[in-house]
Amino acid sequence: MYHYISTPPPDADAIRRDLSVAPGLFEEHLRYLRDAGYASITLGDLTLALQTGYPLPPKPVIITLDDGYRDAYTEAFPLLRRYGFTATFFLITSLIDAGHPDYLTWDQVTEMSAAGMDMEAHGYSHVDLRGRDDAYIIWQVLGAKEAIEARTHKAVRFFCYPSGKYDGRVAHILHSAHYWGAVTTQHGVLQCSECPFELRRIRVRGTYQAEDLARVMEAALSADEEGTCTTTP
């Protein structure tokens, strides 16, 4: 789980620094993944594997980038292509509609989609959906879905909960809106067919060198071998 692929400005707060992976470090991460034999897959591939036994490569990895910052296009996209990976980009569509200079444009979204990148939804305006009425949740999750589909002409099947916050009602409405699953900020790599709307990820910190990423991934794999997949009420 990545956010910014850029060096934070001098006045950045602790959160911005933590969420920022410098382009050089991101390249080191991709080089490590390639050299270690990882192959990128999509969330759709994962869902088919969980539900139908669809075959995956021996060492599958899903690279996700949240929020749709402009550096996803200027920095992450060319590096992903250089190292032979695809990634999933979760987009806040209201900011793209508004032409916010720090976020992707629709032209960039369509270019990356045509090149094999996966464009999925992060809500219309990145707000906490817990406790909201059904109409508001539907507006947030369907608005983002339809905006992306109108540009990429590909089905949007996955959602990223804003700030990782969700409840059972949000997951239920996502399912009703023909989403296949959703990603959380829960740490881990164990996924199961019983909880497609609670997919786990590994947050990549801005300080992680390639060896740190390898260590965290290996620790998550070892921990999840002992664990089980449970559904949050």
Q: Over 80: is that where the pLDDT of 226 sits?
A: no
Kindly report, residue by residue over 112-133, the tens digit of the pLDDT.
999 999 999 999 999 999 999 9
**232 against 177, higher pLDDT:** 177
Arithmetic mean of pLDDT, 19-41: 98
Q: Which residues pair with 160 in a beta bridge?
A: 183
Work out the mean pLDDT of the chain and round it to a whole number.
95
Given this model, what pLDDT does residue 71 score? Answer: 98
The span from the CA of 80 to the CA of 58, in Å, is: 20
- What pLDDT does 233 receive? 31
User: What pLDDT is attached to residue 232?
Assistant: 38
pLDDT tens profile 57-98:
999 999 999 999 999 999 999 999 999 999 999 999 999 999
Q: State residue 212's pLDDT score.
A: 97
pLDDT bracket for residue 231 (50, 70, 90) = very low
Using CA atoms, how far apart are residues 205 and 155, in angstroms rounded to an integer?
A: 30
User: Which whole number is the average pLDDT over 201-222?
Assistant: 96
CA-based Rg of the chain, rounded to a whole angstrom? 17
Q: Is the pLDDT of residue 145 over 50?
A: yes
pLDDT band for 225, please (50, 70, 90 cuts).
low
Residue 99 — left, alpha, or beta (φ > 0 → left; ψ -120 to 50 → alpha)? left
The stretch 30-35 carries a mean pLDDT of 98
Mean pLDDT of 38-59: 97
How does 33-46 read in b/e, with b if 16+ C-beta sit within 10 Å?
Answer: beeeebebbbbbbb
State the fold for domain 14-225.
TIM Barrel (3.20.20)
On the question of pLDDT at 228 being above 90, the answer is no
pLDDT tops 60 at residue 169: yes
Pure H helices in 19-105: 23-35, 43-52, 71, 77-83, 93-97
According to the model, what pLDDT value does residue 223 have? 84
pTM of the complete model? 0.95
pLDDT, mean of residues 13-29: 97
Q: Give the span between the Cα atoms of 197 and 175, in whole angstroms.
A: 8
